[in-house]
Amino acid sequence: MEPVTTNEMKHRHIPDNNRSHNDNRNAPEPEIRVENPNDGALSGLSKGSIISIVLFVVGCFIYLAPKDVSCSMENAENRDFERYYGLGGQTNPFTKATADDCQSDIIYRPALPQGILQSDNSASSFLTLAPYGTGKTLIRCKYNQTLSPTKYFPVLILNKQISGYLETFVKKIETNTTVCREKNCLKDWTENEYGQLLLSSLVTRFIEVFPKMSNTELQPLFELSIEKQMRLITTIISYYSAVGTVELETFVNRILGTKYKTNEIQHQYMEKGVAYNEKLYTHFINEANRLLALDPNPTRIRLLYGVIAGQQVKNQFENIQLEENIFNDLRELTLFFRDKLHRIPVFIIDGIDENEYFFQNNKPNKDSLEAFCRTSVSNQIITQVMANNFHLSMFYPKIGDFKIEDAIGRVDKFPVYEIKWTKNSLFNYADYVLRHMNEKASYDRCKSLPNFETLVNYSDKSIPKYIDRLKTPRMLHYFIQELIIQMNNDARHASKPFIATVENVVHAYANAEKRFVKN
């Protein structure tokens, strides 16, 4: 065993140690010349400076002496990758398997579709197809974060939301959900349902942020004609999909300056002497029921009925039809955002790869996925995208050989991107992350991290056949996590601690493979 030499340590611990160990800022450079007899520089130095040099060198020794021990692999606690490379305290980005929390600040742009993260941070419409573990969530997070909140109204539609709509749809349309789960549950899912999903997500998000919006911001809403206000209120109450009705009451009452209360509405009418028309209420319920992706909520519909009757606009709303007007309502509402509130809605859709209707036991249900993808780019939707009513930014999993391009009529106007990794881009990504970790590493590390090829000793002829089988960032992450465990275990006997040996790579690859096969 050959621990880190004392010499190496000394160089590394020159005060004002630069972050890169190859680049010691040689503070004592003149001192070195002092010791060079050919230089004749000694005469030019004052006694004082010689004394300070001597003190400095002695000081270095005192400062360094106990630190030598801290890199010795004789001490069990030093057999630690993080400690060796000075990573303690920072989260090792390779230990993260997913980007679901959107916390990562490391994104390697050159390997990603260039059309998504535009230099002026503008939103656009596209469909990104990404195989599992290629960085789809990460780029979606960045995309969302870059959108200016004064220009856009981002609506994130993730797995949880999509599941809710699909669940409702399947319950309404399929009697035997067990059978459906094994086959294609979504064969009857159409662009109408996709439209409901968009509209409902926009409404729900709007009601969520509404209480925080100022009267100035909402001025355009107050200025609408009562008829337009009532249309908006009808859409909002019919499509709201979060829990509760209080939020809707707040919305209605703030716009109309009224005091409607759902559970007192019947009572409020009687006081006003307005006859309560149960038939109209039933009509509203039936209409709501025809929206297949949404659960009708009788309480909210009572509120809607009450407001329509109370505002005396019943005649215009008696024959209300929701299902026939999905795309009209979507247009109205998105144009209200775009033209009146001056914030273009941006639908950001991600997460269908976790959905149980699309994936069962991690096997994709190709038919369901295709049905869903097709409706996402159907005519009614694309027409509104082309008219710039809103942006539609979709991040879907890439499955098998399904060519979504075939389903898009105007493929030239609606870009489809694919996230692809090559060996080179993956190595670049690894180096990029390692460099980032190096920049954050602490000064008293034993060494700075090498690049990826050096770390895994890629020049050894038996190593590339494992490394080259890593195809995605997620596989790379699993592999490095396992590799660190192997290198920690081996540190005591390693000729070069924390540079991978063939055995390390073989074992790490085998363990990592078990994990990515499972996913």
Ligand X SMILES: *[C@@H]1O[C@H](CO)[C@@H](O)[C@H](O)[C@H]1NC(C)=O
Closest CB to ligand X among residues 90, 144:
144
Whether 110 contacts 421, CB under 8 Å? no
Q: Which of 346, 350, 325 is nearest to 334 (CA)?
A: 346
8-16, 138-146, 361-369, 481-489 -> range binding ligand X (CB under 6 A): 138-146
Q: By C-beta, is 174 or 188 nearer to ligand X?
A: 174
- For residues 409 and 15, what is the distance between their CA atoms, to the nearest angstrom? 65
Query: How far is the CA of 388 from the CAs of 121, 311, 323, 330, 383, in angstroms?
Result: 17, 33, 23, 13, 9
CB of 5 to ligand X, least distance (A): 16
Question: Which backbone phi and psi does 496 adopt, to 5 degrees?
Answer: -125, 100
Asked if 196 interacts with ligand X (CB under 6 A), we say no
Q: Which is nearer to ligand X, 68 or 100 (CB)?
A: 100
For 21-69, the DSSP string reads GGG---TTHHHHHHT-TTT-GGGGS-HHHHHHHHHHHHHHHHHHHHHHH
Smallest separation, CB 260 to ligand X (Å)? 32
Q: Which of 7, 46, 176, 216 binds ligand X (CB under 6 A)?
A: 176
Q: Give 152's strand partners.
A: 344
How many residues bind to ligand X according to rule CB under 6 A?
Answer: 15
CA angle 155, 106, 476 (to 5 degrees): 110
The stretch among 88-96, 300-308, 392-400, 454-462 that binds ligand X (CB under 6 A) is 454-462
Q: Which is nearer to ligand X, 92 or 144 (CB)?
A: 144
Does 141 help bind ligand X (rule: CB under 6 A)?
yes
Q: Please, which residue, 178 or 319, has the CB nearer to ligand X?
A: 178
Interface with ligand X (CB under 6 A), residue from 17, 49, 70, 144 = 144
Whole-angstrom distance, CA of residue 306 vs CA of residue 300 = 10
**Which is closer to ligand X, CB of 178 or CB of 215?**
178
What is the length of the chain? Answer: 519
130/255 with CB nearer ligand X: 130
* Choice from 457, 472, 486, 488 touching ligand X (CB under 6 A): 457
Q: State the Cα–Cα distance between residues 114 and 125, nearest whole angstrom.
A: 13
| 355 versus 501: smaller Cβ distance to ligand X | 501
C-alpha to C-alpha distances, 177 to 191, 353, 365, nearest whole angstrom: 22, 20, 15
Q: Whole-angstrom distance between the N-terminal and C-terminal Cα of the chain?
A: 39
Query: What residues contact residue 173 under an 8 Å CB cut-off, 6+ apart?
Result: 188, 292
Angle at the Cα of 143 from the Cα atoms of 140 and 147, rounded to 5 degrees? 145
Cβ(341)–Cβ(220) below 8 Å: yes
Q: What is the per-residue burial (b if ≥16 Cβ within 10 Å, else e) of 90-112?
A: eebbbebeebeeeebeebbeebb
Instruction: Pick the piece of the chain touching ligand X (CB under 6 A) from 139-147, 194-202, 203-211, 322-330.
Output: 139-147
Among 24-32, 129-137, 217-225, 453-461, the segment contacting ligand X (CB under 6 A): 453-461
Tell me how far, at minimum, the Cβ of 344 lies from ligand X, in Å.
15
Site string for ligand X, 81-120 (x = CB under 6 A): ---------------------x------------------
User: Please, what is the minimum distance in Å from the beta carbon of residue 172 to ligand X?
Assistant: 15
CB of 479: closest distance to ligand X in angstroms? 17
Between CA 478 and CA 328 the distance in angstroms is 48
Name the minimum Å distance from CB 231 to ligand X. 29
Q: Decide: is 307 part of the binding site for ligand X (CB under 6 A).
A: no
Using the contact rule CB under 6 A, the part of the chain among 77-85, 176-184, 198-206, 378-386 near ligand X is 176-184
Window 254 to 293, contacts with ligand X (CB under 6 A): none
Mark the segment that binds ligand X (CB under 6 A) among 172-180, 217-225, 387-395, 412-420: 172-180
For the chain, what percentages of helix, strand and coil (3-state, to nearest 5) are there?
55, 5, 40
CB of 135 to ligand X, least distance (A): 15
Minimum gap (Å) between residue 457 Cβ and ligand X: 4
Q: How far is it, in rounded angstroms, from Cα 341 to Cα 339?
A: 6
460 contributes a contact to ligand X by CB under 6 A: yes
Tell me the C-alpha distance between 306 and 15, whole Å. 77
Which of 41, 50, 65, 179 is close enough to bind ligand X by CB under 6 A?
A: 179
Cβ–Cβ under 8 Å, residues 310 and 272: yes
Shorter beta-carbon distance to ligand X: residue 43 or 178: 178
Q: Is 350 helix (H, G, I), strand (E, B) or coil?
A: strand
Closer to ligand X by CB, 9 or 158: give it.
Answer: 158
Nearest to 140 by CA among 177, 176, 113: 113
Residue 73 as a binder of ligand X (CB under 6 A): the answer is no
Q: Is 145 in the site for ligand X (CB under 6 A)?
A: yes
Give the range of 47-55, 383-391, 397-405, 457-465 binding ligand X by CB under 6 A.
457-465
Residue list 146-165, contact with ligand X (CB under 6 A): 156
Q: How far is the CB of 219 from ligand X (least distance, A)?
A: 24
Q: Interaction with ligand X in 479-518: which residues (CB under 6 A)?
A: 495-496, 499, 501
Q: Which residues of 201-226 are buried (b: 16+ CB within 10 A; e: fewer)?
A: bbbbbbbeebeeeeeeeeeebeeeee
Closer by beta carbon to ligand X, 178 or else 315? 178
What is the closest distance, in whole angstroms, from the C-beta atom of residue 124 to ligand X in the complex? Answer: 16
Interface with ligand X (CB under 6 A):
102, 141, 144-145, 156, 176, 178-179, 457, 459-460, 495-496, 499, 501
